[in-house]
């Protein structure tokens, strides 16, 4: 089997799993309990929070542990919208967002919020002039992904934050799920930021929401003591230990991982460009971890299915998207319905070997010949 779907999930690092198990065995108390075992668990939770904050370069009080990026996105987007509804109900976003973001926006629209989507440039980055044009005094939120999960476009977050400085009531939320541990990006000017460690060899069921000090949120969950008023529930100490370990390893290894992935990405681009019916949708200067392509006249699902028969694992759209519909991200970028319907995604890791890339290319050639000559 050749696994090329690392943007959906990554294998758990042994050191992460070891940290999870060690903490789960060592601390039996609830961090909210007022006795010796509870105090010990609370102290460890505080230590882990400080460590995570240091790795991100933020304050410990700005870290909120969640069950994943989906919960983090929901908490930030809905929380800011509800907290700011007295000021305005206008929200801006992009057509590249993950379903956990677009789902929030659709839910808010039903509650009377106005949502507008920003236009894209040819490289997939948002049009900053369009952002400036659409911003209003009642705009309370701009939701933008740092790196989109289908195309790998890297958004100019510093420039976006600079534009928003003239709108003090407007907050910037960044879904950094495909960026943290892989792509460097600034936190300056960002009010809230979400990510999940299972994208960089951590555990599923855990996530982080960074919430800058003085940003107010209406919490999603009510009742139940926790480490923060913004997210109720018993602190998941062992998952926090796994998250801290995964983040530390990713931060330490990011440059080395990047160099390996760039090599694999470059080889794939070069080889796939030899096929006349292949169109590379991912921008040349996007994240090397993601390569989106279309084969003219062949539905993406059909190509994925045949590759799977050869033991090659790839994705059509993100893992959380609905089947049978064209990629909205590819459609927004290329304005070509059939190209979007034909698109699918390879996503890489430093674990991806050159031999695996070559095995994929052999399988691709066979699938291409079969599906384009029918």
The Cα–Cα gap between 276 and 147 comes to 28
**pLDDT for the residue numbered 175:** 98
CA distance 164 to 289: 29
Burial label for 122, CB within 10 Å (0-12, 13-18, 19+), is exposed
Report how far residue 159's alpha carbon sits from residue 308's, in angstroms, rounded to the nearest whole number: 41
Burial class of 168 by CB neighbour count within 10 A (0 to 12, 13 to 18, 19+): exposed
- Select which of 145, 170, 320, 367 is catalytic: 320
Residue 238 · residue 97 · CB < 8 Å: no
Does the active-site annotation cover 21? Answer: no
Question: 1, 351 in Cβ contact below 8 A?
Answer: no
178, 153 in Cβ contact below 8 A?
no
Q: Which CATH number fits domain 2-8+254-372: 3.90.1150.10, 2.40.37.10, 3.30.930.10, 3.40.225.10?
A: 3.90.1150.10
Q: What's residue 228's pLDDT? A: 79
Q: In angstroms, rounded to a whole number, what is the distance separating the alpha carbons of residues 328 and 21? A: 40
* pLDDT, tens digit, 9 for 90 and up, residues 37-95: 999 999 999 999 999 999 999 999 999 999 999 999 999 999 999 999 999 999 999 99
pLDDT at position 62, please?
Answer: 97
pLDDT of 322: 53
Residue 41: its H or E element: helix 36-56
Residues of the chain short of pLDDT 70, as ranges, are 224-226, 318-324, 374
Q: How far apart are CA 193 and CA 328, in angstroms?
A: 23
Query: In whole angstroms, how large is the CA radius of gyration of the chain?
Result: 21
**Taking Cα atoms as reference points, which of 40, 41, 107 lies closest to residue 73?**
107
pLDDT for the residue numbered 352 = 98
User: Please, are residues 225 and 206 in contact by the beta-carbon 8 Å criterion?
Assistant: no
- Residues 166, 171, 174: CA angle, nearest 5 degrees: 120
Rounded Cα gap, residues 157 and 161, in angstroms? 6
**What pLDDT is stored for residue 222 in this prediction?**
80
């Amino acid at each position: 089997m050749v696994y090329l779907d690392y943007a959906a999930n990554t294998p758990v690092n042994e050191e992460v799993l070891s940290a999870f198990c060690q903490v789960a065995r060592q601390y039996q108390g609830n961090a909210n309990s007022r006795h010796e075992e509870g105090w010990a668990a609370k102290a460890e939770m505080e230590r882990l929070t400080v460590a995570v904050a240091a790795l991100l370069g933020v304050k410990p009080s700005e870290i909120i542990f969640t069950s994943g990026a989906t919960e983090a996105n929901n908490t930030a987007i809905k929380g800011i919208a509800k907290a700011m509804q007295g000021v305005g109900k206008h929200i801006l976003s992009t057509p590249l967002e993950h379903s956990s973001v677009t789902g929030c926006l659709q839910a808010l629209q039903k509650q009377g919020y106005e949502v507008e989507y920003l236009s894209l440039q040819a490289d997939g980055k948002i049009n900053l002039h369009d952002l400036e044009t659409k911003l209003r005094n009642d705009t309370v939120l701009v939701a933008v992904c740092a790196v989109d999960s289908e195309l790998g476009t890297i958004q100019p977050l510093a420039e976006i934050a600079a534009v928003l400085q003239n709108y003090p009531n407007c907050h910037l939320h960044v879904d950094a799920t495909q960026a943290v541990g892989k792509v460097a990006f600034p936190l300056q000017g960002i009010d809230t930021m979400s990510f999940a460690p299972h994208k960089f060899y951590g555990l599923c069921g855990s996530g982080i929401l960074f919430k800058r000090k003085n940003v107010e949120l209406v919490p999603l969950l009510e009742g139940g003591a926790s480490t923060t008023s913004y997210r109720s529930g018993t602190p998941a100490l062992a998952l926090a230990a796994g998250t801290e370990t995964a983040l530390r390893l990713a931060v330490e290894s990011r440059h080395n991982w990047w160099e390996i992935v760039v090599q694999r990405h470059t080889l794939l681009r070069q080889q796939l460009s030899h096929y006349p019916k292949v169109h590379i949708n991912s921008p040349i200067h996007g994240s090397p971890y993601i390569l989106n392509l279309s084969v003219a006249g062949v539905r993406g699902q059909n190509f994925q299915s045949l590759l799977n028969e050869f033991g090659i694992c790839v994705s059509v759209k993100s893992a959380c998207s609905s089947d049978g519909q064209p990629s909205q991200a590819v459609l927004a970028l290329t304005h070509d319905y059939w190209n979007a319907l034909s698109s699918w995604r390879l996503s890489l890791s430093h674990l991806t070997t050159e031999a695996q890339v070559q095995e994929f290319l052999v399988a691709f050639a066979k699938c291409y010949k079969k599906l384009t000559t029918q």
